[in-house]
A and B are shown apart, each in its own frame.
Chain A
Amino acid sequence: MAPRIANSAADAVAEISDGSTILIGGFGNAGQPMELIDALMECGATDLTVVNNNAGQADAGLALLIKERRVKKIICSFPRQSDSWHFDEAYRAGDIELELVPQGNLAERIRAAGAGIGGFFTPTGYGTLLAEGKETRTIDGIGYVLETPIHADFALIKALKADTFGNLVYRKTARNFGPIMATAAKAAIVQVDEVVEVGSIDPEHVITPGIYVDTVVALGGEK
Chain B
Amino acid sequence: MTETPTTEDKLTRDEMAQQVARDIPAGAFVNLGIGQPTNVSNFLTAQQGVTLHTENGMLGMGPVATGEEVDEDLINAGKIPVTELPGAAYFHHADSFAMMRGGHLDVCVLGAFQISKNGDLANWHTGAEGAIPAVGGAMDLAIGAKATWVMMSLFTKTGESKLVETLSYPVTGLGCVSRIYTEVAIFELRDGKVFVRSVHGISFDELAAKVPVELTWA
Q: Which residues of A contact B (CB under 8 A)?
A: 27-31, 53, 77-81, 88, 91-92, 98, 100-105, 107-108, 110-111, 122-130, 143, 170-180, 207
| B133, A29: Cβ atoms closer than 8 Å | no
Min distance, Cβ A121 to any Cβ of chain B, angstroms:
11
Known A103-B55, A123-B101: A177·B93 in contact at CB below 8 Å: yes
The stretch of B1-9, B135-143, B197-205 in contact with A is: B135-143
Q: Which residues of B contact A (CB under 8 A)?
A: 54-58, 71-75, 79, 84, 90-94, 96-98, 100-101, 125, 130, 132-140, 143-144, 170-174
CB < 8 Å neighbour of B172 from A111, A128, A175? A128
| B133, A124: Cβ atoms closer than 8 Å | no
* CB-defined contacts of B96 to chain A, threshold 8 Å: 104, 107
A53 to B77, CA, bound (A): 11
Min distance, Cβ A212 to any Cβ of chain B, angstroms:
12
A180 to B95, CA, bound (A): 10
| A124, B101: Cβ atoms closer than 8 Å | yes
CB < 8 Å neighbour of A29 from B58, B72, B97? B72
| A123, B98: Cβ atoms closer than 8 Å | no
Known A77-B137, A79-B132, A172-B73: A108·B170 in contact at CB below 8 Å: no
* CB-defined contacts of B139 to chain A, threshold 8 Å: 102, 104-105, 124-125, 128, 130
A175 to B133, CA, bound (A): 26
| A111, B135: Cβ atoms closer than 8 Å | no
| A103, B135: Cβ atoms closer than 8 Å | yes
Min distance, Cβ B162 to any Cβ of chain A, angstroms:
18
| B100, A177: Cβ atoms closer than 8 Å | no
The 7 closest A-B pairs by CB, nearest first: A104-B97, A104-B140, A28-B79, A107-B93, A174-B73, A80-B134, A111-B94
Min distance, Cβ B167 to any Cβ of chain A, angstroms:
10
CB < 8 Å neighbour of A173 from B75, B140, B143? B75
* CB-defined contacts of A124 to chain B, threshold 8 Å: 97, 101, 139-140, 143-144
* CB-defined contacts of A130 to chain B, threshold 8 Å: 135, 139
CB < 8 Å neighbour of B90 from A78, A79, A128, A175? A175
Min distance, Cβ A186 to any Cβ of chain B, angstroms:
19
A123 to B171, CA, bound (A): 13
